[in-house]
Amino acid sequence: MNRLTSYAHGGGCACKIPPGELEEIVRGLTGVVDPALLVGLDDGDDAAVVQIDERTAVVTTADFFTPVVDDAYDWGRIAAANALSDVYAMGGRPIVAVNLVGWPRDVLPKELLTEVLRGGFDVAREAACHIGGGHSIDDPEPKYGMAVTGIADPQRLLRNDAAQAGLPLTLTKPLGVGVLNNRHKSTGEVFPQAVASMVALNREASEAALEAGARAATDVTGFGLLGHLYKLARASGVTAVIDAAAVPYLDGARDALRDGYVSGGTKRNLDWVLPHLRADVDDEELLLLADAQTSGGLLVAGEVPGYPVIGHLEVRGDAILRVR
Ligand code: CO
Ligand code: CO
């Protein structure tokens, strides 16, 4: 049996369909919606949200991807933390999840799948989220993730279109898992700091953001910090300014970038935002800021105690993004 990541054509959220392409695909499918659908397809938010009554909204999302690490248990934990994250990114609390599995049953032992699922179970338990059944198919490329349903207070959502000029921007996890995962896939080197970051739930960050009065946030995944911030600023009608020196990175991220471990997804992220970006920093810095994350942190419009401020929001100027 080969290393688990060798079965993946892409890596983690970096195997997402590119952002611009996705928007073309769903164009024309949005529009006529019931007002109870508080968050739908329009601004590409993290999850769909439906209002049930005055106090309750249902939050629903799905996320799955190919192996990002060779350790099956870690991959399961990462995929689960990543799927749960979209509920936290809306200000919700996950209630129940079902597994989504693609498995090459002729090639990979089923004991390995048990390890993947065990990782998912452990993280769901940590999140106090039930796991029901799920769906599995025979697939030449292994895939794992979850569809997650949660609840939220409809008056206290973290939307991506509710950010306001004048607010600081907070980022709750360091960047760099994209380049480190890419290096791991190529060389087999293990990066425990990246694994620790990816398996960490965004629950505390979400609760702290709500507690601090935040109304706008998103999680940083496959489109990178620049891509997700661009979506948030565009949907909210503001300009986002990043102080590059204030952005935290995992140990080894800068070296991995210099050694060439940049994914195609990261380059596509940067190409996508470039027409809307004014930058005073070099390309290396921009590539790091566009690094496609897997199970990244929350990007919050507002200050969240305990987490670094990386920039701020302004009245919309001539560019949607600025990096200085
Ligand atoms: Co998301
Ligand atoms: Co997602």
User: What are the domain boundaries of the chain?
Assistant: 4-152, 168-323
Q: Name the residues annotated as catalytic.
A: 13
The percent of residues above 90 in pLDDT, for the chain, comes to 87
Q: What is the mean pLDDT of residues 177-188?
A: 96
Hunting for tokens 């590119």 — which residue is that?
18
pLDDT above 80: residue 11: no
Q: How far is the CA of 87 from the centre of ligand 2 (A)?
A: 9
CATH label, 4-152, candidates 3.40.440.10, 3.40.47.10, 3.30.1330.10, 3.40.50.300: 3.30.1330.10
| Ligand closest in space to the Cα of 89 | 1
Q: Which of 249, 241, 234, 215 is nearest to 310 (CA)?
A: 241
| Ligand closest in space to the Cα of 202 | 1
- What sign results for the dihedral spanned by CA atoms 303, 217, 194, 175? negative
Q: What is the pLDDT of residue 30?
A: 66
Q: How far is the CA of 43 from the centre of ligand 2 (A)?
A: 13
Does domain 168-323 fall under CATH 3.90.650.10? My reply is yes
Q: How far is the CA of 86 from the centre of ligand 1 (A)?
A: 5
E strands present in the chain: 37-39, 48-51, 57-65, 93-103, 130-138, 143-152, 168-171, 216-219, 238-242, 277-279, 298-301, 309-315, 321-323
| Ligand closest in space to the Cα of 219 | 1
pLDDT (tens digit per residue) in 43-102: 788 899 999 999 999 999 999 999 999 999 999 999 999 999 999 999 999 999 999 999
Q: How far is the CA of 44 from the centre of ligand 1 (A)?
A: 9
Q: What is the pLDDT of residue 22?
A: 83
Q: What is the mean pLDDT of residues 176-198?
A: 97
Q: What is the pLDDT of residue 28?
A: 76
Beta-carbon-side half-sphere exposure of residue 157 (alpha carbons within 13 Å)? 26
Q: How confident is the model at residue 20 (pLDDT cuts 50, 70, 90)?
A: confident
Q: How confident is the model at residue 24 (pLDDT cuts 50, 70, 90)?
A: confident
